[in-house]
Amino acid sequence: DAAKSGYDHYMKKEIHEQPRAIRQCLRGRIAEPDGGITLEGLADLEPEGMVQFVACGTSSNAARYGARLLREHGIPTQTFLASEYTADAVPVDEETLVVGVTQSGETADTMRALREANGAGATTLALTNTVGSSAARECDHVCYIRAGPEIGVAATKTFVSQQVALALFTGALVGDSDPAFLEGLRELPELVQTVLDSSRAREVADAYVDADAYFFIGREYTAPVAFEGALKMKEITYKHAEGFAAGELKHGPLALVTENTPVFALLTAGSRLEKTLGNVKEVQTRGAPVIAVTDVPEEVGRYADHVLEIPSTHPQLTPILANVQLQLVSYWVANRLGRSIDKPRNLAKSVTVE
Ligand code: G6P
């Protein structure tokens, strides 16, 4: 219990450690005052071809976020679930940079994908939390996310640190970062702290603890957070939860929506809010309660039954803040249901078999 520093669960402690984890990830990596980003060991990395991401679970949601950031800067990317990556079926050669996103650095599926990529002559990079891990040793380059040890099986602070490391990685590759983006990164620890201090996630969890299922919708930068919100909910509550790219709702998932399936809508400025609002109206027509996670509450509040507010920042960084609200909702639902939050049934922190 001493190791939990007064928190009931490691997961809660680790959620609250996120401002510190972000500070550690940023430390010494953004030069003052010019804002140049340096990631040790990656100075000479200049990918000429495709950047491919391979990852599993929560790390694959971080990878999707990172891929979106790179694409926005004109760098071509592909994202693969590591278990689906086979060098004979994927175009990979000496010009490809393959990035393994893995907090443990030991996940068997990710390790196999990285070995195949190395075998095909690609340059490989491990983005990991674990110094000296198998991924760190296998890859040509390593970038540490510096989250500190994570005990809870459900990844929280390592996910945030992966997102921040991928934002830094993008800045380092692009070379010339937008000053507003750098400012957003610098202020991120305080903004996450604001979310932690002011969140109304517990009220939302109380209101919907008996729901049949939970759906999460996001678009562009927030789609990976919708996937991650659902994954976290499944892992620790054992309830049905799904994340969708908002535009996909009408292509099937809408059939699942009822008055007992709350929909968490990521409605942030910069992620084509108006379009996602259209999807919100579709679920409301079917009677579903809507919880808006938003940095523009005055614009979207009237479309929602509950609002989980996040501070405004650079649009590419709002997904990081929105995710913290969803972590807290899952935590409180699991808590109300009396689940084994730190060690959910059937799951392991690190999966070393394929
Ligand atoms: C396991 C864990 C997940 C994690 C995944 C990938 O399934 O339970 O929380 O996201 O492995 O782990 P990695 O260490 O590769 O990031």
**Whole-complex ipTM:** 0.97
Give mean pLDDT, residues 223-251. 97
Q: What is the mean pLDDT of residues 344-352?
A: 94
Which amino acid is present at 42?
A: L
Q: Ligand 1, residues 351, 352, 353: which to mutate, most atoms within 8 A of Cβ?
A: 351
Any long-range contacts for 84-93 (C-beta under 8 Å, 24+ apart)?
A: 85/52, 85/54, 85/113, 85/116, 85/117, 86/116, 87/116, 87/117, 87/119, 87/120, 90/52, 91/50, 92/52, 92/116, 92/117, 92/120, 92/121, 92/122, 93/49, 93/120, 93/121, 93/122
pLDDT at 190 over 80: yes
278-297 residue pLDDT tens: 999 999 999 999 999 999 99
Instruction: Please compute the mean of the pLDDT values over residues 181-203 and round it to a whole number.
Output: 97
Q: Is the Cα dihedral 37, 42, 45, 49 positive or negative?
A: negative
The ligand 1 atom nearest the CA atom of 155: 9
- Please state, for a pLDDT cut of 70, what percent of the chain lies above it: 100
pLDDT digits (tens, 9 = 90+) for 112-130: 999 999 999 999 999 999 9
Question: Do 350 and 161 meet the contact criterion of CB atoms below 8 Å apart?
Answer: no
Tell me whether residue 349 is one of the annotated catalytic residues. yes
Identify the pLDDT of residue 88.
Answer: 87
Tens digit of each residue's pLDDT (9 = 90 or more) over 253-269: 999 999 999 999 999 99
Task: Specify the DSSP class assigned to residue 340.
Answer: -
Which ligand 1 atom is at minimum distance from the Cα of 105? 14
Whether ligand 1 lies within 6 angstroms of the CB of 162 is answered as no
How far, in Å, from the CA of 107 to the mean position of ligand 1?
Answer: 7
Distance 57 CA to ligand 1 centre (A): 5
Of 79-83, 87-91, 307-311, 332-336, the range with the lowest mean pLDDT is 87-91
Q: Measured from the CA of 57, which atom of ligand 1 is nearest?
A: 10
Rounded to the nearest 10°, the torsion over CA 305, 230, 71, 105 is: 150
Q: Encoding tokens for residue 15?
A: 């959620």
pLDDT value at 28 more than 90: yes
Q: What is the pLDDT of residues 179-189, one digit of tens each?
A: 999 999 999 99
Average pLDDT rounded to a whole number, residues 72-90: 94
Q: Is 134 in the pocket of ligand 1 (CB under 6 A)?
A: no
Q: Supply the pLDDT for residue 203.
A: 98
Q: What pLDDT, on a 0 to 100 scale, did the predictor assign at position 34?
A: 80
Q: Which comes out higher in pLDDT, residue 46 or 118?
A: 118
Is there a contact between 102 and 135 (Cβ–Cβ < 8 Å)? yes
Among the listed residues 338, 20, 12, 22, the one whose alpha carbon sits nearest the alpha carbon of residue 152: 12
User: What was the pLDDT predicted at 176?
Assistant: 75
Sheet of 77-81: strands edge to edge? 77-81, 51-55, 97-102, 123-128, 141-144
pTM, full prediction: 0.97
* pLDDT of 1 over the 80 cut: no
Higher pLDDT, 33 or 155: 155
* Residue 197 clears pLDDT 80, i.e. is over it: yes
Map tokens 């990976």 to a residue: 224
Indicate the average pLDDT of the chain. Answer: 95
Specify whether the CB–CB gap between 111 and 136 falls below 8 A.
no
